[in-house]
Structure 1
Amino acid sequence: MKLRNSFQARIACVLILLLSVVVGALTIAVKVATNDAVRAQAREQLQVGTRVFERLLDVRGRRLRDGVQLLAADFGFRDAVSSGDSATIRSALQNQGARIGATDMFVLGMDGRVLASTVDKVPTGSLFRYDTALREVRRTSQSMLFVPLQGLPHLLVEAPVLAPLPIARVVMGFSMDVTLAQELHSLTNLQVSFLTTEAGNVGELVSTQPAELAGSIAQWMIVNESAAQRISLSEHDERTYLSQPLLLASSGGAEGGRVMALLQSPLDEAMRAFVALDRNILGIAFAALLASLVGALLLARSVSLPLQSLARAAGRIGHGDYQTDLPLDRTDELGVLAQAIGRMQGGIAEREQQLAHNALHDALTGLPNRTLAMERLGSAIAAERPIALLYIGIDNLRELSESGGPTFVDKLLQQVAQTLLELVRPGDTVAHLITDEFLLLLENLDSDSAVAVADKLQQVLLQPHRFGGHDVAIDCRIGIAAFPTDGLSAEELLARSAIAMKDAADMPGRLQVYQHGRDLAHQRQVRLIRDLRRAAANNELSLHYQPKLDLRDKQVRQAEALLRWQHPQLGNVSPGEFIELAERTGSIQTLTRWVIEEGIRQLSEWNALGLVVQLSLNISADDLLGADLHERVLRLLDLHDVPAEQLIFEITESAIMREPEKALKVLHSLRACGISLSVDDFGTGYSSLAHLKRLPVQELKIDQSFVRNLDETSEDAVIVRSTIEMSHNLGLKVVAEGVEYEHSLRLLERWNCDTAQGYLISRPLTAAAFEAWMQPPLPTSTAVVH
């Protein structure tokens, strides 16, 4: 009995001691953390309050300055000042002051003497005390002056009275009184105080604090005047605050004036919010100590605990729980038995894990199988996460099997699995369903985004790869379905993606989105993405040419090549529609290659006919950042015997700014071979003039949004005219596109714009129509549009 009691006492003492240490450390940590949190929050509140205070004063000052400037510009007021009509001046001051909320209004002569005043203590004829300070504020380009006027802080602004030379100055201001302090208090929840000192005299304290704290606060502000802008602790009547003093104005010297502000956040009120937390911690500590004592007594009585633990462990293993560690750590016979049971548990868990993996994964590729894919799809649906399914069927697997054998096909499927894994993002799922079918689950994607992924996947698989001594290209068809648009269950989505995959066999691009519930616009977009890759090969693309008029000699020596797509079923497709799709799916480089080759070929044909023009071609960001643009263009110029000087490449600001250094290198190489460069859509991007000066460009092209409705009174006129002047100062020519009206052309001529382009001159023309348009003499600018 003594042994049992001694055992119980030791267990109880150890547990209570440890728990006491933990609870004590937790209490101290919570206390320190809450104290730090309160101070940090108060400091942040002060910083925000300071910015609000500065913004409030700035808004008041701006309103006051606008009112003063309005009064100074009034003709009647200027006439009254010129004639010395004091009654009219005073009436005008009072009326304007009442409108803008000013309390102090003066008219000063140019020598600083008061000509009129609404403040009794500043009589007419006296020298205005703050005249020098106002002049200093004006000299430093500041807009407001804080002064200690009549013992209270005041904010003053001034404006000159011009007739047309300065004949007087109007000064207005308002008192920073309790109303302003209360307004700032309501905005920031901070205590606000204002105080002035002048010639050693302390003014009246303006504060939202209780009256009994006024003396202590004023004394603290005077003592801590030199610590302005520094947050520190202060105590007033046993109340603790985190204080932010602000020195608004200081004229220096013993007789000088000071205007000070003080923002305070009470810490005591914030700390009272944690009193309940302290009581809860003490209650929890007491309950924990009591519970530990009871537990210690129960533990001591459990002499059979080791055997019970082993028995429970064996029961858990029997029920399939292999993850829970055995709680017994001994060196005697029971410990040996516990170690044996632990090894048995680990062996069984490893074998069951392998069996579970084999049940959910494909043995050949190691990818999830249909069961695991459906499980993950069901989880995404249950969590209501958007997910897209790409059902992939390999069509030429049988032919590959006949040529390479089963072993070759197994290795090929493993390679396909690895390629698919490299193409998807972390978190997406690639599953192998049956021999020639794969399933991709793309998290947080809809059908539109999945089309771009599928298009890229097809391009990668269709590229020939050297594998096992054979050149192999995977011919596949892909069906797409998405949750929740195409189905609300895993089985429904899988079935519909399989249907879409089968329908893809009849489509030219072998890519199909499940059609149920799809609108015509989406079907059209999918079709355009699918057909765009083959548009050039199917001779569906063409170039139209829009003349560019030289405004100095009224001659056309340049044209811009504009891409057109005539779809066999959909008809003419707008460039604004298919160019965006090409950039999004990565087909833009194919289009640009075709445009460059066709443009150079057309120049060669025109040169042979004696029609020599410069041709502008648009270059995408992807082409500008490519590695072979320079060499490819040189080969084409040499092939068609076209001088590089006949080419102008137009590059948008956004394309240049994507990777400026790399783009700059490519542009220099193009310019070195004689190709001219133009910045297209100038004014719609974000490039700086400093960066523009580094670019080897010869012209800027003002975006048509600024030119289309151009007239002399519009805001666009300022932008266009400034751009032309700036470009000429930088040694650049200027092209204005979108010229549709005669008066716009006249303005561009008057502003010395170099080139104009738009429907007023000519619409984009086919090559044959352009040749015919160039044959007759160019009409004058007053002629009708070609």
Structure 2
Amino acid sequence: MNFRLRLALLFVTTLVAVQAFTALLAYGVARRALIADGERQLAVGATAVARQLDDISARVADNVQVLSLDFALRAAIAQNDQSTVLSALRNHGRRIGAERMLLVGLDGMVRSDTAAPAGETFPFPDLAEAALDHPAAAVVAIGGKAYWMIVVPVYAPKPIALIAAGIPVDDALLAHLQKSSALPNSLELVTLGGDGRWADIARGDNRVEIAPALAGRELPLHPTLMQLDAREYVVLATRLRESERSAPVAAMLGYSLDDALRQYRPVAVAWASLVALGLAIGLAGALLIARGVARPIEKLAAAAHRIGAGDYAPAAASGKRDEVGQLAAALSNMTLAIAEREERIRYQAEHDAVTALPNRHAAEAAIRQALLARPEAGALLMVGLARLPEVIQTMGHTISDRFMHDAGMRLRPFAQRGIVARATDTQFAVWLDGADKAEAIAIAFRILDVLGVPYQEADLSIDTAPAIGIALHPVHGDEAGALLRRAEVALFAALGAEDPVAVYDAGTDPHRPERLTLMSELREALDRNQLRLHYQPKLRLADERIDGAEALLRWQHPLRGAIPPDAFIPLAERTGNIRRVTRWVLASAIAQAHEWAARGHELRIAINLSARDLDDADLPTRVADLLSLHAVAPRTIVLELTESAVMGEPDTAVQVLKRLADLGIDLAIDDFGIGQSSLAYLRRLPVREIKIDRFFTQKLGEDVGDRTLVRSIVELGHRLGYRVTAEGIETRAAFEYLREVGCDHVQGYYIATALEPDALEAMLGRDESAAARGVRA
């Protein structure tokens, strides 16, 4: 064999070897890149599963907390009314999608169970213990099924029981998670059985069972390559948050490597063609081909290494049409495909799948950049659709997704001013770059007009019921996250108000950090005597003499200064601290009445009661003890209560009020005319006085309608045997009109503001009739 032939054969052999090596190298690098891509997808998917389940847990916990605040349920629990409790649990369970609802006593025993007989020990005591501090949730395995078990305490005002809601984590839920979050096709929930084997308890749209991958392995299982059903998969398993008493529950995600590699089979065909063509050309021109092959192969190898390192920039075209050129083109196409997949994953992580709008995370980042670029002004509008939960419950997620998609399309034109994003399941965020308050409100009403057109679905017309909360930069915050939170607070205010547009008000923000400490500081103020009572005089119109006063609470905080009652009284009512405040006010006011009586001033002191006070069966006894302690006549005290207070728990309130009236204490209805009570119901109460709210008296001098209404209330009150007092008297005209129509008493700034005890006593020391005229002058 001559040298040329040997050289040709050597070159052909070398060519074949090099091509084979190149193909194997490209395949290996591409395979590793796909594995790495699969690992990233699984990591993102695991995070998405945990986040979605946490979102479900938070929503269910909020709903169960609403149930726990239901007074009827708490009363049924206190009375051990099992039928009422079971009915409430079943009804609420259906609304929130819970398959099982339990009422658990503080002793850990199940009192009521919608799916099993009561009387058993609650199987997850760690959740019950944790729920005493805050709502607790975990994945538990019961009877081969997975549940999100959410446990919430029931307060009255202290914890009296626990409500546990079991949300099934089943195939349907996993399939929904896969569709809504672009999760891998293989997703399972598995639990460790008594035989030590892992078995699936919920599967989404799986094509292969991946539970056997955990055999003999410990959790968490990091991304691992393995054979399942004769196919290669990258498998990841992570334990979910679970109860200590539950069998371990894990989420398993699988990424099919075979599916990912299928699109690159043409590369293998191209490689085979390159080998055949290389052999033919090698035989005809070995030296020429040998010299031209080395350089392209080096470029391909470098491109393969870049792919392995995560650089998906397409390689420069070789300009050749031979086998190496085809391989370069195939590798470039593969690189572009991987880059497109990476970009798609990134897009899905930053955009809402239903509306294709940026999600909350992306919106927050974009707003942050907008604040850096233009820090002087801006407005964030949080747009909420109040009807969406009802649409979901009535028509399902498919219709609700189309409903939200339509809303997103209507809002897209407003992105010309800044950013439009989907912030939550029911809310959109609209950032207006450079907008001030007036412009933000104007655009908000334009958005209401756009969203106010009902959504059409077949022959149904669905009202969107939009509301908008506004947070302004920099007035309400300099950071994107703070603006989003405060716009949500404003939105919640708008949803509960007549006006569908609300601007953030820090004074009514229930989530301000300082409000978290306000109740502990109030208790400290009671202990340290930082509270004071001021007294607003009540003038008897018959002789223009002051014969009474209303006790009004004042708090002078050592650091915050004067704190208005509106800032802490509602919070005290919600937390149950109002009873302690009422006890302090009663003790202080009755003691003051004793001091004035000892100095010859016989004043009737009016004290306000809250709705919480009227369900306190010990209140009459406590008042009687205070009257006896200070030797104060019961007729000296008038207890005022609002219409809403007696309507909240009418039976309990009537009993407490009758016991107070039996002591000889007068009762008065405060803010009469603005509540929801009926005269027939008020006649059942031992009330001797009604107070006309300032809403009706402020414009008595100019509003004919208010004058007619006030006259009617005075006449009606007298016919029913009530004394009538008018509040909020600020003008001479109102004063004269009330005297004309026969009103018994008046109080307000026209008479005097709320005074400290010494100031009121000094006023009483003068001739009361002349003093009253002097103050009004």
TM-score (norm 2): 0.38
TM-score (norm 1): 0.38
Q: Choose 1 or 2 for highest CA Rg.
A: 1
